[in-house]
Structure 1
Amino acid sequence: MSQLSTSPQVGPATEPAPPEPRSHPRVVGAFVLVGALLVVIMLVHLTQGTSSVGARDLLHLITGGDDEAARVLVAARIPRLLAGLAVGIALGFAGAALQSLARNPLAAPDTLAINAGAHLAIVVVAASGIALPVLSSGALAFCGGLLAAGLVMALSAGGQAATTRLILAGSATALALNSLTMLLLLLFEQATIGLFAWGNGSLVQTDLTAFTQLAPVIGIAAVLLVALGHRLDILALGDDTATVLGLNVRRTRLVVTLLAVLLAAAAVTLAGPVAFVGLCAPVIVRLLGRAVPGVHRHRILLPMSGLVGVVIVLGSDVLLRVVLGGHAGVEVPAGVVTTLFGAALMVWLARRHRDAGPTRQPPGAHAAVRSRSFHLSVVTVCAVVTVGAVVLGMLAGDTWVLLGDIVNWIQGRTGPAYTFVLEQRWPRVAAALLAGAALAVAGTIVQAVCRNPLAEPGILGITAGAGIGAVSLLTFVPLAGVAAISGAAALGAVVAFALVYGIARSGGLSSDRLVLIGFAVWQGGTAVITFIIVTSDPWNTAKALTWLSGSTYGRTGPQVLPVLIALLLSIPAVIAVRRELDLLSLDDDTPRVLGVRLERTRLIALGVAALLTSTAVSAVGVIGFVGLVAPHAARALVGGRHGRVLPVAILLGAALVSIADTLGRAVIAPAQIPAGLVTAMIGTPYFVWLLWRSRNTTTGPR
């Protein structure tokens, strides 16, 4: 299989400039066509809005029309148009530069967590109550984006590692940063009101102040990148060749990275994180390579990517308001549409390419072989830790109780106050315990089927699908019962799983393709959830944020029951096929030779994972990293055999979510931190350590 990040034949998104002379007429024609399309979109964009001012009113301005149309044009529509113009150019240039540096078609401000880092920096300032000028906010966003990009590039070998590795490193870093952002949005709801929608990329502008200050920054950075275009052409030939030709590779990479991060940070400061524009625009331009020779040369690629970026941003805004009306432009972030478009493009890229990075090794490939007595000792210790986590969960909270109070409560001898506290607390403890166990089993299955120790149910889109189902029902049927919510979450998870599996299976199931398509569906599902929230109840984002962050708040006994039933049905079945999972985690040929019906076994196993994930999401919301950390830690402790991994993973997952929930309830009581945010902050360092430890094992040519 070809390496997306190495060979010149990897496809349109990373192909170096062809040696033949460029066709000037075709290049000029391409610029003219894109420019004409952009002019049409801009004219249509100016006619849209919440007021009744239309195209005819704007035409009358040429002959001295009424002042109302002029005020609407100057106060609202031109600022929005110029914001889209600046954001499209900035992200188009930044994406093209980052893809060229990484020689990876999926490198972008989103996948390198630049947008997440810049977003967090701005939210930190807003939560602190400090009002900073635009340029100062932009400087902080630049620092946040640069730190995030540096971490991801270090974890993914400068971005040149296998595409799956880049996506996993970027998604983990972005998830951790987004968890901190969500925490601030929840804890400082009044100070950060309106930032939830803005955090998904909104073109709404009150005036031209931000644009006039950031436009020169974007313009200068874009011009400097074009001036470095010849150096990028040489760099595309490979680091060794570029060095022989006299190029200072390290300095060029540093300068281009700084300029790309600066452009992305300026876009985030102006309009929030508009997702996937930096990924889509350069890919679309490079796809024109056959029809327009020479388009891969960076002095053409960069400005063309900027123009296509503007077409994507403004076109998405126009499409949004055409379909949903003028008010949708205020309520729904334009980034929701660009995310859906980018997710579709990413699925297309994943279907065309295969990736054989270092994460395509059996999950237990490096696990030590342990004795039976050692395994029993580990299970015993994990069981003790889990029981301790449950006891601590019952004791801790905004009201601390004693062990004697719990004993009296069990015997029915406590007073009304403690009875109320413990009656409210036990369902939360049970929900955290069972959800952690369910996610751990699901993660173990997914990692075995994908033969990828860094995969988890969330990265396959299952969590997002379950979230869509549950949030949709909570929004449109507020009085829905527990069974209905669980059913909606299960349906959403099954639909997402069927979509990911069906697309990835086309042309032969590839583990890496499964992960990449799942990531795209995950991002698209998150955009759908955002759309539902901002269109139904935009001023009550705390409820949705709490759900999306994973919380046991307000849980009742009946809400926990579906998770218990799913575990009771699934665990015996998974234990019964533990040997098949051992074979699946090796390769495709060994199970077939030994008589395992590979496709059927994969489908059933992933179906069980989808069931467990959906019930866990219906009970506690979206909790990440548990399905990644628990199975991997279990394999590190007891080896790679699933008969031993499963009980340890179940106990570790249950303990992890229980401890996270207890910490979230007790650390800043009476305020609470959702358990999903705590698990993300606990799991991210572990995940980063895994990537860092294996970063030097990357195989294949660079």
Structure 2
Amino acid sequence: MALPQTGQAPLDRARARVLILGALSLVALGLFLTLGVPGGAWGFALPFRAGKLVALVLVAYAIATSTQLFHAATRNQILTPAIMGFDALYLMLQAGSVFFIGAMATQDLDPILKFSLEVIVMMVFSTGLFLWLFSTQARDLYLLVLVGIIFGTLFRSLSSFISRMIDPNDFVVVQGATFAQFNTVNIDLLWISLVLCAFTVPVLWLLRHQFDVLALGRDTAINLGLPYRRVMLITFATVGLLVSVSTALVGPVTFFGLLVTHLAYRLLPGARFGPTWIAASLVAVITLVGGQAVFEHVLGFKGTLSVVIDLLGGLVFLTLLLKGAQR
């Protein structure tokens, strides 16, 4: 991994590009709120769109942050939490709840209670799996990919098995959770998601320099005095929390984090964790909010943003794999 750039000129360029991204994100927010609103419908349209806008911003922040944290911890910019089986775990939880208590009971559950249980399960999975992996010496890309594929295949197989056993009418509920739905954001979870995401901001900001050290590798980080296990525990617990927030609000999104983080890496080559984190979050806001504004208010729902995001993100993933193979 390349060392972060130092010196005043790179810092000035990074600040300028972050400011430009901030301005573009404000433009995207304004377009989403105002585009296509009839003259006499402002009183209804603005509050309705504002709730969805906050949810989209939270999703953008959660996905971008969790992906970049994962890159810092694994020292690999190809892997993402979704590739490691998080989305499959989420789908298995949805299918399991429908199978054991029924579709009606699942929909009647308190959204906050259901969300809390999902957060706990995914945080336990993330911290347990990744701390076990990184407590060993074999920490190469192939082991991580293999473990992710195994767990993802296990969870998907269980979800498929459960889906075949439930009533076809109940299966509609499970199928609805399979794809990301940016058009129908779960507003009931908005406030608790906002609190959880807001809690992570100061924590990550205070630890931003430690993440730079963490990205240098386990041995180097320990030699430099980093409390390695504590930082890793915080990192993977935060990843599990943020993935839970994003999937609970819109559903699983596989390649969005990979897409926006690599755009941020291109815009700020060699930058430290702090500026890159801000840039990735702003790129995610621009992509998600701006894209949804176009698909919803310009194209009139004639396309699906999640399909375009997965297509572009998948191309980025394949490009990174091919570049790695050429090396």
| TM-score between the two structures when normalised by the length of structure 2 | 0.85
For the Cα contact (< 8 Å) 2:92–2:159, is it kept in 1? Answer: yes
Asked which structure has the greater RCO (Cα within 8 Å, sep 6+), the reply is 2
Deviation at 1:497, TM superposition (A): 1.5
Match of 1:492 in 2: 121
- Contact 2:70 2:79 survives alignment (8 Å): yes
The residue aligned with 2:16 is 377
1:464: which partner in 2? 88
Deviation at 1:505, TM superposition (A): 4.3
CA distance change for structure 1 residues 394 and 624 in 2, over 3 Å: closer, same or farther? farther
Change (3 A) 1:664 1:559: farther
Aligned to 1:563: 193
The residue number in structure 1 matching 2:182 is 552
1:650 alignment partner in structure 2: 281
- How far is 1:644 from its partner? 1.4
Residue in structure 2 matched with residue 589 of structure 1 by the alignment:
219
Report the structure number with the largest CA radius of gyration.
1
What is aligned with 1:386? 25
Tell me which amino acid in the other structure corresponds to 1:478.
Q
Tell me if structure 2 keeps the 8 A contact 1:386–1:655: yes
Alignment of 1:330-349 (within 5 A): none
Partners of 1:483 and 1:555 lie apart in 2 by 15
**Structure 2: distance between partners of 1:661 and 1:567:** 21
In 1: Cα distance, 2:261 partner to 2:239 partner: 13
Structure 1: which 5+ residue stretches go unaligned? 1-361, 406-413, 698-702
- Other structure's SS at 2:31 match: helix
Equivalent in the alignment of 1:521: 151
**What is the rounded CA distance, in whole Å, between the counterparts of 1:580 and 1:566 in structure 2?**
21
- Cα deviation for residue 647 of structure 1 reads 0.8
Structure number with the higher helix fraction is 2
Separation in 2, partners of 1:542, 1:668: 27
Contact 1:464 1:493 in 2 (8 A): no
Within the candidate set 427, 433, 437, 2:57 is matched to 433
Matched with 1:640 is 271
Give the counterpart letter for 2:22 in structure 1: A
Measured in 2, the distance between the counterparts of 1:618 and 1:372 equals: 37
* Structure-1 separation of matches of 2:29 and 2:239: 24
CA distance in 1, matches of 2:160, 2:112: 24
What TM-score, normalized to structure 1? 0.42
Matches within 5 A, 1:31-430: 362=1, 365=2, 371-396=10-35, 400-401=36-37, 405=39, 414-415=40-41, 419-430=43-54
The structure-2 alpha-carbon separation of the partners of 1:511 and 1:462, relative to structure 1 and needing over 3 Å to count, comes to: farther
> How far off its partner does 1:374 sit?
1.0
Q: Is the 8 A contact 1:458 1:522 kept in 2?
A: no
Aligned to 1:478: 107
Cα deviation, residue 392, structure 1 = 2.6
Kindly, what percent of the aligned residue pairs are identical?
20
CA RMSD of superposed structures (Å): 2.8
What amino acid maps onto 1:394 in structure 2? L
Report the alpha carbon displacement of residue 597 of structure 1 after superposing the two structures with TM: 2.0
- 2:72–2:215 Cα contact (<8 Å) kept: yes
**Residues 531-546 of structure 1: pairs in structure 2 closer than 5 A:** 531-539=161-169, 543-546=173-176
Find the aligned partners of 2:200 and 2:223 in 1 and give their Cα distance: 27
Separation in 1, partners of 2:311, 2:163? 25
Contact kept, 8 Å, 2:127 with 2:233, in 1: the verdict is: no
* CA 1:542–1:628: 2 relative to 1, 3 Å: same
